[in-house]
Structure 1
Amino acid sequence: MTLSLRPYQRAAIEALYDYFSASSGNPLVVMPTGTGKSLCIAGFTREAIAAYGDTRVLILTHVKELIQQNFMAMLRAWPEAPAGIYSAGLSRRDIHAQILFAGIQSIHRHARQVQRCDLVLIDEAHLLGRGDSGMYRSFLAQLNEINAGLLKVVGFTATPYRLDSGMLHEGKDRLFTDIAFDVPVLEMIQQGYLCPVVPKQTSTQLDVGGVGTRGGEFIAKDLEAAVDRDEVTRAAVAEIVQHGEGRGSWLVFCSGVAHARHVRDAIREHGISAETVTGDTPGPERDGILAAFKAGRLRCVTNANVLTTGFDAPGTDLIALLRPTKSVGLYVQMVGRGTRLAEGKDDCLVLDFAGNTARHGPIDTVDGRKKEPAGDGEAPIKVCPECQTINHASARHCIECDHEFPPPVVKVAPQAASNALLSTQIQAAWCDVTGITYARHDKPGKPASLRVTYECGLARHSEWVCFEHTGFPRDKAVGWWRRRAGNLPPPSTVNEALEQLDQLRRPIAIQVRPAGQYTEIAAARFV
């Protein structure tokens, strides 16, 4: 049986074959939210068992909804799949199934019961922690020992960086070793597999200047105290209601449980149906709320830290960010809840009251390697007016005399920035090309690429053309070549390309736009 896969899904599976034929590490497959990771998992599993009939596959994740979604996706793609579920939340323990979808919380102590296993596929892999003490790490270590060190582990994620900071495949404590496949979110939008996300300028902006940082993220308690202010909540909600007219499904990310409830109540005051989901919401109540939201019977759901991953509501066409974050991963995951396609949905409006787009940049150019600067400048302090003792800015009471400081003031900015959510929304500039150089670019452990450097007066802008890669990088290289070489067959290697440079058309101008700290070449103009 052959599964019906989109080209990039097929390319992801082929990339895993290529990786395991040459390497012995634990690779990552990076696919944006809404592009069908579950179908890739089903296809890869089906083909592994077709090649070796006794292959045993364990598919791990952390949320029961994802376990159920992935299991059902497998059965839709392969109705005869020998699949089962091991999850306390779903009241199933099919421990001996050849394909086992499991919750890590339920199975992490039962490696001895699982016994033989060839492949472990981890969905939402960005949720793995740093240390060796986590449930995933101890479970996988036991499972690898049971299977004589032959266990293969693959991670699937939309965001290949930890929620605090740093790439998943970098650092001495890494579980994953490489990125085997990565398809950019912008390409998926441009090719019609995802819907665009568009920013709208908001008048209300949360000021979190006095909120402390711990572990690369705002301190949760201090953040909620700063953000959960009635006057600001009402101002933001008024804007949500105004911009949400004509949009059917609103998802609001809040900074804490109480904040989520206060935002919900403010929305209800406008006559809008709204409910709240938090980590404390009982399972049946949560399931009912989310089912009503997905069915269009409930217009708005506010939440605190629970709908950032594993939540699939394609009809979501408005996202409001009232949750400031320093986490690149969390920011991308929140915005990604709105990129799924749905009938009658042209785009998803994102109202960022939290300054996240200004903090991190467009979701297709974010830098997961960025770390919090050491010390973050001068330490934020405040001086007690009673005894002149210096306190940290987050202190609620003076450490010396117990004077109670007033709550932090949240400012409403006179004019908030409307930051781009996609790099294509950043205005690009055309630059005249005065010279071009080509060079082979080698990176350890990776296929070579062709580095093309355009001289534009005193400025230089570079792009990398990946003839020797597979999947979308190769497809892009072929397109690049055909725009310059017409019907001349695309080269297979960089060296082959370098031998034919005299047959290429040279652009007279390139369109350049910012991409984080660098620039990106968006287009080329020829004579």
Structure 2
Amino acid sequence: MKFTLLDHQERALDLLRHSLATGHKRPMIQSPTGSGKTVIGSAIVEGALRKGNPVLFTVPFLSLVDQTVERFAEQGIHSVGVMQGYHPATDATQPVQVASIQTLMRRKLPRAGIVLVDEAHRWFDFYGTWMKMPEWQNVPFVGLSATPWTKGLGKHYDDLLIPTTTKALISQGFLSPFKVFAPAHPDLTNVRDVAGDYHEGQLSEAMSQPVLIADTVATWLRLGEDRPTLCFAVDRAHARKLADQFEAAGVPTGYVDMDTPPEERVQIGERLKHGQIKVVCNVFTLTTGVDWDVRCIILARPTKSETLFTQIIGRGLRTAPGKADCLILDHSDTTLRLGFVDDIHHDHLDTGARNKSKATTKERDAPLPKECSACSRLKPAGVRKCPSCGFEPERQSQIEELQGELIALKGKRKNNREATHEEKQQFYSMLVWLRQERGYAPGYVSHKFKDRFGVWPRSMIDRAIEPDAVFLNWVKSKQIAWAKRNKKQEAAHAA
């Protein structure tokens, strides 16, 4: 072996050996972005070659073929052939064959003693067909992914192996710490869902509002510290607008989409590395297979997908000399909606069942982060003092006692300050929790919110947090008021 394995990489191999030894044929290795999945894959390949087993390594995109060959060469594995058109490395006699899944769909499958499926969360129906072919049923298929959470993946893979987690690798220094700011809160009220995520056309329109585009650039100029930055946009039109706005502000900017040639993409990466450009705006293309030195992520693409969110943020978590942390500028509310990326974790594959069991959901429901009202830094729930600006909000009662009756201040503090978006979201989330806990009707949350602030809720994130004493006092005051009114009415009727 020409490379040294870290503890979590050794653990991945031990878990795989045990899985195969106990009869599993379709194990899935879940290992975070930046954990060295290439090294793990190379070790698996080397072990197979020592036993005389040919290897077939598949990737979901053509652009990853050459990168895979290069990575194998860096690990000392040179007996590699490529299945791809007129590729110069085409050599069917080599014991390791690398191919995209698209190529394999159109070709006769080569003989292999083991199949490695890279970025295995990218599911293609052909994988399912292939795995069921009689001549392949006893051949191990080993999935490699940082986010193997695709719905129904558990129908095809039979053992999830978790050698480590993002949180563990950050604490051990193998991945970079990160800090998140949420400087904008887009209005996605009129954006509908399609297949579990936002409708792309409507989302692009919502995120392309001039004020949001301008705010994205202004925030980077204020907080970005000239860090090498990847900006993730909704679609090409949105990415172009962002790139144009950065250029207009004097920030050298690159642009990448699915049609960007591989050699041009490499050049853009080199220019980012050497500081010739500061920001690269992209659409979906830099979420996998990118190991650039990225120190800032701009998330201008809201998503409900934990997989997409984790893959995006993962681009900035690789360590590098002189890198203290990764700065995440979240203009999408995704972190507020899904939580910090190192709190997202699953310990079972999704079988696609309609009614999911507890085992298929998050390992633990970590409380969602809260926004500092002074600087927009997101901080863990329960942390009062902002780690960036030091602001610590004072607890202020939102209840006044008037003539012996507790009443709510209608949308304003005692000092007549309008309630902030953060305060409204917190109140809304407590209502959600109370409705779920007590089984109230769905309309309870909206009506109580309007009762409290005088307006119907808009742009609120539908998440639940446990109520604090101030909130419960307000609820109690409304119940007391209702009881008194009811008592008076009964007395009036009795008279």
Mark yes or no: TM-score above 0.5: yes
Matches within 5 A, 1:44-443: 44-50=44-50, 52-53=51-52, 55-79=53-77, 81-88=78-85, 92-112=89-109, 114=110, 116-129=111-124, 134-141=125-132, 144-147=133-136, 149-162=137-150, 166=151, 168-169=153-154, 174-202=155-183, 204-247=184-227, 249-313=228-292, 315-366=293-344, 418-420=377-379, 425-427=380-382
- Whether contact under 8 Å (2:2, 2:76) holds in the other structure is no
- Whether contact under 8 Å (1:274, 1:300) holds in the other structure is yes
Normalised TM-score (structure 2): 0.69
Instruction: Single out whichever of 82-91 and 5-14 deviates more from structure 2.
Output: 82-91
Task: Give 1:294 deviation, angstroms.
Answer: 3.6
SS class of match (1:111): coil
> Aligned partners of 1:252 and 1:87: how far apart in 2?
31
SS class of match (1:239): helix
> Aligned partners of 2:198 and 2:88: how far apart in 1?
36
Q: Which amino acid aligns with 1:104?
A: I
> Aligned partners of 2:175 and 2:317: how far apart in 1?
5
Normalised TM-score (structure 1): 0.65
> Aligned partners of 1:66 and 1:295: how far apart in 2?
23
More strand by share: 1
> Aligned partners of 2:204 and 2:218: how far apart in 1?
20
Task: Give 1:139 deviation, angstroms.
Answer: 4.1
> Aligned partners of 2:17 and 2:157: how far apart in 1?
16
> Aligned partners of 1:296 and 1:57: how far apart in 2?
40
Percent identity over the alignment?
Answer: 28
More helix by share: 2
Aligned CA RMSD, in angstroms, stands at 2.9
> Aligned partners of 1:77 and 1:288: how far apart in 2?
24
Q: Which runs of 5+ in 1 are unaligned?
A: 375-413, 430-515, 520-527
> Aligned partners of 1:415 and 1:106: how far apart in 2?
53
SS class of match (1:18): helix
> Aligned partners of 1:89 and 1:167: how far apart in 2?
35
- Whether contact under 8 Å (2:25, 2:139) holds in the other structure is no
SS class of match (2:143): strand
Residues 264-322 of structure 1, C-alpha deviations (whole Å, 9 max, x = no match): 01111121110111123344433322332244332110011111111221x20010100
SS class of match (1:302): strand
Task: Give 1:76 deviation, angstroms.
Answer: 2.2
- Kindly name which structure, 1 or 2, has the bigger radius of gyration based on alpha carbons: 2
> Aligned partners of 1:47 and 1:251: how far apart in 2?
36
Q: Which runs of 5+ in 2 are unaligned?
A: 356-372, 385-462, 467-495
Q: 1:493 maps to what in 2?
A: none
Residues 186-220 of structure 1, C-alpha deviations (whole Å, 9 max, x = no match): 11011111111111241x22121210101101111
SS class of match (2:99): strand
Q: 2:477 maps to what in 1?
A: none
Task: Give 1:415 deviation, angstroms.
Answer: 8.2
SS class of match (1:19): helix
Q: Are the structure 2 counterparts of residues 88 and 263 from structure 1 closer, same or farther at C-alpha, using a change threshold of 3 Å? A: farther
Q: Are the structure 2 counterparts of residues 154 and 231 from structure 1 closer, same or farther at C-alpha, using a change threshold of 3 Å? A: same
Q: 2:476 maps to what in 1?
A: none
> Aligned partners of 1:19 and 1:254: how far apart in 2?
40
SS class of match (1:222): helix
Aligned residues: 368
Task: Give 1:228 deviation, angstroms.
Answer: 1.1
- Whether contact under 8 Å (1:321, 1:350) holds in the other structure is yes
